[in-house]
Structure 1
């Protein structure tokens, strides 16, 4: 029953039943139940309950957890952004498999501990394990985050020598080269692939590469090429390209992109709405920015901050303060 709840994304119900089982002396809690419950805890990012279940596991297993349980507890801690606890488990494990190493490496990189992730990859190789696509993805992400071209190139070379290909590989490489100030290399990679081989993520990665290089003209040209070649942009594409309107064609181009977003029902996404508010405010159309803001059904801290800054930039201090007070009433902290 717990498994059925998890499969249907009813995580809170799954955990309520799990806690009921734990409190009963009539039901034996097996490894499958524990694994399923830890998965629910990971997805809910409930670190407090996760620590309680971990303590229960240690008590029941005399501090020597089976490999599969140790791995899942590590995943739980990493999903709850508790990298230290995940690494403590990693260090205590007498046995590790590729999943163990990849989980810990990914946890480091996802929490911006990129050097630690790179060191662990080298340790993984010394331990005799092959660097697989999961580890390569972490390597490329770490190289991108650090802007470390040497590591990125070495990883790219390793992929070529080993003949490794995996979904999303091209976008990771484009992102890495762009953030390492090698946009031309990123563009050559993009051009190597035929039109049919480029997916939405690849197009977005190349547009983002141009925007990272402050090359709004080429980012807009690529956006138009994407449309010509019948690759429909998604909400990520729209939020990436809207800032280019501030320097290219201004408000008219922005309105065209807004119209496209409305037709494709992409304007309902919070980050598209926020990007529209920002674009209109920076193009001098604060009333249009406010109209978009008022129509948004979902707003976050970034949305409110963008609108407040827009008011401030246009000398509308009273309206900025009024919106700031509204945030206070909504208990929405802009300082987090």
Structure 2
């Protein structure tokens, strides 16, 4: 293992897409971090953006810190100790995520990356996620004047399907699976309407949708649409299956549940949630997870009534002064 002098290790700063070799390094490090921590260090949106490269809809800034081998010149560094990714938005804001290999933790790797980011990009409009809210991340955020601004709960259900209520749909509403090549435009419109208050989800584009449909986990049979007699989409439950990795078993996810404004107040959200959970359990999965904002009291209450319990939390940090 390399001597511990991260302040002297080279940091690569890449604007735009990363090449295949760097993407493989990022993916391998993220897998090692997830195996160690039990949760991924990067959000799905970030990995979708990384894989899309220059063709993606979100500009990208990546930093990679390589630890040189004891006998190597720093310019020919071999081991990726950590990396940082900023996904930029059109309005000048950005979201930062940092991952450090378990073998290189508590050595100043994340600090070196963030310091380089500050000098190369600056912190204007920047917020940062800590997935799992590790103590080291909280300490680093405080060092740079960042405080928690959002808490995203992970909740998990391990109950059997027999303990779930029935998925009772409103009158004249039926459930069917998403059909690729047919439903994209209508779903994007329904998603925009359902999440008008939540731009992170509501602003999803055709390109964003296609990128997710190209992922290995995409299964149209688990993408449930609630439609009226005319075929109009009133709501949806997009499920996801995280495959088994290392010592962690496969787990289902309530990926996105949305109800359009005109269909709210009919119990459709609960019916869609239950229908999706039953679908996941029919696939042989014994646990289902979801993400929800900690301050979304109605959603937290519904999920608790269905048997979900708080499992973990992701915390977003922003400047203390709100800048």
Does the pair score TM above 0.5? no
TM-score, length basis structure 2: 0.30
- Which has a greater percent of strand? 2
Higher Rg:
1
TM-score, length basis structure 1: 0.30
- Which has a greater percent of helix? 1
